Structures are given as C-alpha cells and as structure tokens.
C-alpha cells in the first residue's frame, strides 16, 4: 500500500515567488526572463522548505500564452532560469505545472479548478489535510480549498487586507510573504 506524502507544499508563482508582473509590463505577465524578479526572501524560503524535506510544486495560471503575449518556448525559458537560480541558492522545486488557457476556455486545470493539483498527484498520494497552498489571490484560496489543502494568502502580490471584506472565501492564514509563511509552517511543525 502506498504511503501518503506528508511534506508537500504547493506554491503559486507570480506574486509569491516573483514580483507580481502587473507593474512590469502592459500585459501583466512575465513574458521573458528579463522581466522575472524574485521577491525578497523567496529563494531563502524555498531553500528552507527543501532543507526540511518538503516536495514543492509550483502551480500557476499563465493565460498570456493563449492571449498571444508570449509563447510556450518563452515560458519554458523563464521556468528553466527560475529553477536554475533557485538551485544556485540551494533550493529545489520538485515540479512546475502551468495552465496556459484563458477563463473562457473552461479548462479543468485553470485555477480555481483543481486540474493542476491532480497533475501533481500523478504517481503519488498526498495528505491534503496536512498540505498548504500558498498564493497571492483569493482564487488561489478557492483552488486550495477545492482540493482540500489548508491555504495561506500572502500579501506581497495581488491581494491586500484592505480588500478583506470583499473576499468570497477566507484563507486559513494570512502572511506577509513567502518567507513569513514558510517560517510559520516550519515553526508550527517544530523545524525552526
């Protein structure tokens, strides 16, 4: 019988690992590597998770591909460079999953749907009750809840506490940024 993985973290990309691209270009997408800016502490947070034995999955909507703002080839280059920089900092991302579709495509992998989580699950069994999804939008909270994860909303991307009264769904926890979220998780689990 297959054992459940207990140390899994799901991360959104834009606004969690890298600066929200809305301030970078007119498209509001990272369209090339030169536009990718790691948020302060993000690489250190990923290293801490990796050092603590977590499998880290990045799941991100990238509708800019379907909209023609950038190509799959450009996304692959951005991802390869991101992973290389994280590895230089002695961190490790287990796998990265993207949905290149627009809302109107009604794709099952586009968050808040759970298709990207299901892709990450292939070949493994994850204990979602012990798993966190860290994102910067209420849509990330919706996606995490839909698959059964605990959710952490970080305030370094799209969302703000000023908008809290308009949130359709409340996250389980709110943290300043990825490093703050990771430090809290590791402390809670006795790893700091």
Q: Which residues are catalytically annotated?
A: 12, 14
Q: Residue 154 forms beta bridges with which residues?
A: 175
Q: What is the sign of the dihedral through the CA atoms of 49, 53, 54 and 56?
A: positive
Task: Give me the sheet containing 95-99, strands edge to edge.
Answer: 95-99, 55-61, 8-11, 132-135, 150-154, 173-175
Distances (CA, A) of 48 to 68, 93, 120, 132: 36, 12, 21, 15
CA angle 177-107-28, nearest 5°?
A: 45
Quote the CA–CA distance of 119 and 133 in Å, as a whole number. Answer: 15
Quote the CA–CA distance of 186 and 177 in Å, as a whole number. Answer: 14
DSSP secondary structure code for residue 125 in this structure: -
Query: DSSP 3-state assignment of 135?
Result: strand
Contact (Cβ atoms closer than 8 angstroms) between residue 158 and residue 21: no
């Amino acid at each position: 019988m297959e054992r459940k993985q207990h140390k899994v973290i799901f991360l959104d990309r834009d606004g969690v690992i890298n600066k929200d691209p809305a301030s970078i270009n007119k498209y509001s997408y990272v369209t090339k590597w030169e536009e990718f800016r790691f948020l302060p502490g993000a690489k250190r947070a990923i290293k801490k998770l990796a050092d603590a034995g977590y499998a880290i999955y990045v799941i991100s909507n990238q509708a800019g591909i379907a909209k023609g703002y950038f190509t799959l080839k450009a996304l692959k280059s951005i991802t390869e460079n991101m992973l290389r920089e994280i590895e230089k900092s002695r961190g490790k991302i287990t796998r990265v999953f993207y949905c290149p579709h627009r809302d109107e495509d009604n794709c099952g992998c586009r968050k808040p749907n759970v298709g990207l989580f299901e892709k990450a699950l292939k070949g493994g069994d994850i204990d979602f009750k012990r798993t966190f999804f860290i994102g910067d939008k209420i849509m990330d909270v919706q996606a995490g809840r839909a698959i059964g994860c605990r959710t952490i909303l970080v305030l370094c991307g799209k969302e703000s506490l000023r908008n809290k009264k308009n949130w359709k769904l409340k996250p389980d926890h709110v943290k300043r940024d990825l490093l703050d979220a990771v430090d809290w998780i590791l402390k809670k689990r006795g790893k700091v």
